[in-house]
Structure 1
Amino acid sequence: MTWRKYIGPGPLVAAAFIGPGTVTVCTLAGVTFGYELLWALALSIVATVVLQEMAARIGLLTQKGLAAVISEYLQKGIARYFSIALVLMAIVIGNAAYEAGNISGGALGAELFFHLPNLNIGQFKISLMNFLIGSIALLLLLTGNFKTITNYLTVLVILMSLAFLITAILLNPNLYELLSGFVPRVSSANILNIIALIGTTVVPYNLFLHSTLVGKKWNKPTDIKYIRFDTVVSVVVGGLVSMAIVVTASSGKILSIESAADLAVGLETLLGSYAKYFMAFGLFSAGVTSAITAPLAGAMVICGCFGWSTEIQSAAMRLSILIILGLGLVFSSLGIKPIELISWAQISNGILLPLLSAYILWLVNKKSVMKDHVNTLSMNILGGVIWLITLTLGVWSIYKVIFMG
């Protein structure tokens, strides 16, 4: 059917950035600043559409993932090895930390429905719920294929989106106050939250994931129109879900919060017990979907950098998936609060993003890579503005953390 041509890896991109990290960061933004930072999410949606489209276009025209293209087109020398090391460090280590947050976040949502005991082994506290979430993700990755995983995640993302959007609508937010949140406000008090919101939406590993997967769905330059439709719809829907979480958190009137699970419980006083289960299901779904995409993307980066097969059934992909998912399970068993793992991973992404987006802007303007589909002047201007914004925010965050504590 013709409409199937328009559905590609977009739902996986949405599933990847609407994880427990997004839920937690958006919850904290809503609780702390109300609607004040909705403009940052709007900016993030535009930036994500632009960068994901460019990464996907590179993947379509080269039929390779971004990691493989960077490795191929960078000349040998310090720049090449530094770049590959940066990509591997940012994606592999970052994705392991993300995976810990994804597993822990999904477990927080599930535990509002039923509880599983913990196992104490020496200084480690093994959460059986974490183990269950990780096992579900591993089972789907090792026994499925891209089509099966995409179909599963598409359904789960739709259900998750409805859970968050319905909860926000039921709270009946004030329209004037809502619109006022789209007026940009930047201060020393909210800068790290702005960076976290951008980092949780414009996810570096999504750029690698998207560029690799488009080649498995489309293979002709004329398919660019399908890529753009798939990208815009998926990212916009994901952005609306993030905004719904901010609205929900702002309306929750909760003074102290450790995670989005606290918000789910707090909503009971406003909307009754069913609201808790809407939020809990949303958080659980966010955890499971991102627990699948994070190791998948990380494995694609590893295999792309070394020129190995990115087919999900290949030995290299399976081993890479096991390493990242295994590290995530270990990190989630160290007693670190999920909110700490997630928040610092988001800030780290906000800092790494300008470096990775610079590579994309460079590649998408190379005739040898893109042929007749290099960036237009308007796309370059928009991409350059987005790069400068992310660079400015990244430098500001480093200054704040190092010099202002």
Structure 2
Amino acid sequence: MAQARSKSGFIIAAAFIGPGTVSTASMAGASYGFHLVWALLFSVIATIVLQDMAVRLGFATKVGMSEAIASSIRHPLARGLLALLVISAIGIGNAAYEAGNLTGAAIGLNSLYAMGTGSWSVVLGLLAIALLWHGRYHLIESVLVSLVGVMALVFVVTLAVSNPDWAAMASQIMHPVASPDSLTTILALIGTTIVPYNLFLHASLIARSESQTPQPATAYRRQSTLAVGVGGLITLFIMATAMQAFYGQSEALHAGNLAKQLAPLLGSYAELFFAVGIFAAGLTSTITAPLAAAYAVCGALNKPADLTSGWFKAIWLSIIVIGVLVTLSGIKPLMAILFAQAANGLLLPVIALLLLYMMNTHRQLGRLKNNWPTNIVGIAVVVLIAWLSWQKFS
């Protein structure tokens, strides 16, 4: 348990650095250069604040976020509405996210051996089911997180050797863009960083680790901040390499040429390395998304939230099956991934409001309750994302 506990923050970072992050950040850099860095910076700050709330909630209550919310609501009708909200928000959101994870991982495998992304998604779905069913996914998850870390290192080195135009990057950062055409990409950047299901997953991981081997809350909080910050830097480097390869060029970014951005460093091996990396990122997220959904929904329904529970297995199995079916529907790969991130951006205000409510009202929080600066930041996150969503769909 100590090993799993020590990785909780980085498991969360690995969960959001999936194929959605690689594809969305690549599309942002290719289409808008550094004009959307403001959206990434906002997302990282918001993620640090919200994940810190989830850490404090799990630490203080020793239960997951759904259980903590349910225990604070007495009225049967209100509890029923809460359960419906969690099931709808996390269930639908994670199904969309799972489709993006499977699609991204399938793109990588299909580059190595072409048999179609749909076929590969079925194979990946079965692999994820096998790992979760037996509950022995921690070692494989650690290996995949390491592979994603190696891929991140390659993006950093690639950017360094590709003679980036630092002046152009700085100029674009100082001229942010928020046009109607860019709103989907902005929401996707936000949705791929501030992942709603990670709030439920993080609280559950902290609660279960803390109940076994206690340690100071500050240790969990520091690790969470560090891990999210590193994840944000990785996303920034991905944006930068895509900008160098595609921004202002005649060639448009698509699923078949995502690896081109690594060519300055890896040459003919760029496609192979990118395929392995995005497969690793996709499979890691393919495991964590249904796992988080199971924790959230079981908590809302007051069902056992452990890997041996029938309810728990039924929920994560449903998420994987739905994700596979979406990938088999014929939706274009990058569009499926981008939609998953945008869907997360739309769901986030609802989840963030629930978390804010708990962080100000739960009796067990004590000194870990939200202070007014944290509340202001949390409310600002909700308002901005809701406004962006309104602008996009109004």
TM-score, normalised to structure 1, is 0.88
Matched, 1:210 2:207: no
**Contact kept? 1:9, 1:150, Cα under 8 Å:** no
Matched, 1:387 2:382: yes
Segments of structure 1 that go 5 or more residues without pairing to the other structure are 119-125, 400-405
Per-residue CA deviations over 1:91-116 (Å, capped at 9, x if unaligned) read 1122122212211210111222233x
| Equivalent residue runs for 1:43-82 within 5 Å | 43-76=42-75, 79-82=78-81
Deviates more, 1:154-163 or 1:10-19: 154-163
Deviates more, 1:18-27 or 1:202-211: 18-27
Kindly tell me the number of residue pairs found equivalent between the two proteins.
Answer: 388
Alignment correspondent of 1:97: 96
Alignment correspondent of 1:290: 285
**Contact kept? 1:88, 1:302, Cα under 8 Å:** yes
**Contact kept? 1:350, 1:393, Cα under 8 Å:** no
After TM superposition, give the deviation of residue 74 of structure 1 in Å: 2.9
**Contact kept? 1:7, 1:226, Cα under 8 Å:** no
Partner Cα separation in structure 1 for residue 12 and residue 132 of structure 2: 16
Per-residue CA deviations over 1:20-69 (Å, capped at 9, x if unaligned) read 22222111111110111112111111100100110121111111111222
Partner Cα separation in structure 2 for residue 226 and residue 238 of structure 1: 18
Segments of structure 2 that go 5 or more residues without pairing to the other structure are none
Per-residue CA deviations over 1:330-388 (Å, capped at 9, x if unaligned) read 22111112222222222222122111111111111125141222112222222222222
Matched, 1:256 2:247: no
**Contact kept? 1:146, 1:312, Cα under 8 Å:** no
Partner Cα separation in structure 2 for residue 149 and residue 272 of structure 1: 29
Query: Closer, same or farther in 2 for the Cα pair 1:357/1:258, shift >3 Å?
Result: same
**Contact kept? 1:163, 1:279, Cα under 8 Å:** no
**Contact kept? 1:91, 1:298, Cα under 8 Å:** yes
Alignment correspondent of 1:41: 40
**Contact kept? 1:14, 1:157, Cα under 8 Å:** no
Match of 1:131 among 122, 126, 145: 122
Partner Cα separation in structure 2 for residue 166 and residue 140 of structure 1: 33
Match of 2:227 among 234, 240, 244: 234
The one-letter code matched in structure 1 to 2:319 is: I
Per-residue CA deviations over 1:105-152 (Å, capped at 9, x if unaligned) read 10111222233x35xxxxxxx833222222332222222347546534
Matched, 1:160 2:151: yes
Partner Cα separation in structure 1 for residue 376 and residue 272 of structure 2: 44
Deviates more, 1:369-378 or 1:161-170: 161-170
SS across alignment from 1:328: helix
The one-letter code matched in structure 2 to 1:281 is: V
Alignment correspondent of 1:224: 217
Partner Cα separation in structure 2 for residue 233 and residue 107 of structure 1: 30
Q: CA RMSD in A?
A: 2.5
Alignment correspondent of 2:169: 178
Alignment correspondent of 2:186: 194
TM-score, normalised to structure 2, is 0.90
The one-letter code matched in structure 2 to 1:327 is: I
Alignment correspondent of 2:6: 7
Alignment correspondent of 1:276: 271
SS across alignment from 1:313: coil
**Contact kept? 1:8, 1:214, Cα under 8 Å:** no
Partner Cα separation in structure 2 for residue 5 and residue 114 of structure 1: 34
Alignment correspondent of 1:142: 133
SS across alignment from 1:218: helix
After TM superposition, give the deviation of residue 266 of structure 1 in Å: 6.4
Partner Cα separation in structure 2 for residue 308 and residue 165 of structure 1: 44
The one-letter code matched in structure 1 to 2:382 is: W
Deviates more, 1:90-99 or 1:67-76: 67-76
After TM superposition, give the deviation of residue 290 of structure 1 in Å: 0.8
Deviates more, 1:361-370 or 1:42-51: 361-370
Match of 1:376 among 348, 365, 371: 371
**Contact kept? 2:26, 2:239, Cα under 8 Å:** yes
In terms of fraction of residues, the more helix-rich structure is: 2
Match of 2:316 among 304, 316, 321: 321
**Contact kept? 2:93, 2:347, Cα under 8 Å:** no
Query: Closer, same or farther in 2 for the Cα pair 1:5/1:347, shift >3 Å?
Result: closer
**Contact kept? 1:11, 1:157, Cα under 8 Å:** no
